[in-house]
Amino acid sequence: MLACSVMICGAGAMIPTGAFAIDAACAPAAEPVISLDYGSRYTDDDKSRSTIDADSNEAVNTALRPVDDFIRDLVVGANDVLNETDPATASTAADCVLTQIAVWARADALSDLSSYTARLSVGARIGAIAEAYRQIRPQVTDLKAVADVDQWLIMRGDEQLAFWEEEATSGARTGNLRAWAALALLNIGEVTDTDTFVWWAGASSVRILCTARDDGSLPQETKRGSYGLHYQFHALSPLVTIAARLDQAGMPITTVCNDALTRVVDYAFNDLDQEGALTQEYSGAQQSYFDGTETMEDHELAFLGPYVTLFPQSNLAARAEGIESLSNSKLGGDQRLLWP
């Protein structure tokens, strides 16, 4: 069993290879999750949002587990499609993944988000589903299912955009969850040709990157007590992925705000090598990777796949080569497959 942090072993966790047998009959889709209603993982009296409330944390994990399980299966299936060399087999497998997503689309899944925290954090899950869909869509044949999934994703994207522009707090708008929502809208925008979503994803990423201090630390993350460095890394996954995808689209953001992207990445790894001392100066707490709370997992570094594509001469290229698996289901699975 994979080791997980105290918070969650969810959709971001490393996924097993070959778990989705493309030569097998298409498995039925998981039961669609329509409603999500949960509070914060953290104690109410901790303004830094770094003290985990065990009961609340378990309630969040329980609510999200069916969604995260669904995402992991989808991503394994989508990666298998990309790995398949026989066109007919790839198309059959792609239609299977599409069928499973369409079940959720036709049920209007994730449409009833009753709590602020659910609306705040659902973006990464929507984005992961959209990324799996983006991978398999060129191979599918069921155009009615494509239309249904497109419509559903656009609705979820519209809701996320409205939330972040109208309801999210000013602090949240420059934090890692905004970055994950931006990646969701980029995925949806690219696969449905919704230019507004692509533009918003880029603008959101720039907004977050431009908050970086001179040393590359992100103020919204490094204030998070013992989890400051954890959340600096958590922000890097969507920010780096968005930057790499926009670079491919001829919309580069890598040099904005005095090369903020490389600064925020360099800060994270410099601090990791210094056992969290830099972030401890900002947060006043020993960091979770070094106080016995959690250990750095490979899936947290999967963004090195797109990062090394952007910066092949970076000294992080060697670090990436030394990591056994650069896989993260929230980023679409195997990053070595997506960013060869």
What was the pLDDT predicted at 283?
A: 97
Q: Does residue 214 register a pLDDT over 80?
A: yes
What was the pLDDT predicted at 16?
A: 44
Distance of CA 192 to the CA centre of its chain: 19
End-to-end CA distance of the chain: 27
Mean of the per-residue pLDDT values of the chain = 92
SS3 287: coil
283-305: average pLDDT: 97
What was the pLDDT predicted at 24?
A: 52
Nearest to 130 by CA among 339, 331, 335: 331
What was the pLDDT predicted at 236?
A: 98
What was the pLDDT predicted at 19?
A: 38
Q: Which residues pair with 52 in a beta bridge?
A: 42
Give the C-alpha distances (Å, rounded to integers) separating 178 from 88, 175, 234. 39, 6, 11
Give the C-alpha distances (Å, rounded to integers) separating 96 from 11, 29, 64, 137. 20, 9, 23, 11
User: What pTM value is reported for the model?
Assistant: 0.92
Cβ atoms 201, 182 nearer than 8 A: yes
What was the pLDDT predicted at 23?
A: 43
What was the pLDDT predicted at 2?
A: 32
Instruction: Characterize the bridge pairing of strands 112-113 and 35-36.
Output: parallel
Burial profile 291-318: b = 16 or more Cβ within 10 angstroms, e = fewer: eebbeebbbbbbbbbbbbbbbeebebee
Q: Per-residue pLDDT tens for 115-148?
A: 999 999 999 999 999 999 999 999 999 999 999 9
Question: What CATH number was assigned to the domain covering residues 35-338?
Answer: 1.50.10.100
176-186: average pLDDT: 98
Block residue for tokens 């689309």 = 105
What was the pLDDT predicted at 51?
A: 77
Instruction: Characterize the bridge pairing of strands 327-328 and 112-113.
Output: unpaired
Both tokens of residue 237? Answer: 């996954």
Q: Does residue 331 register a pLDDT over 90?
A: yes
Give the C-alpha distances (Å, rounded to integers) separating 246 from 128, 160, 190. 17, 20, 10
SS3 36: strand
Nearest to 93 by CA among 103, 83, 102: 83
Neighbours of 199 (CB within 10 A): 14
Cβ atoms 186, 134 nearer than 8 A: no
142-164: average pLDDT: 98
SS3 227: helix
- Give the C-alpha separation, 298 to 296, whole Å: 7
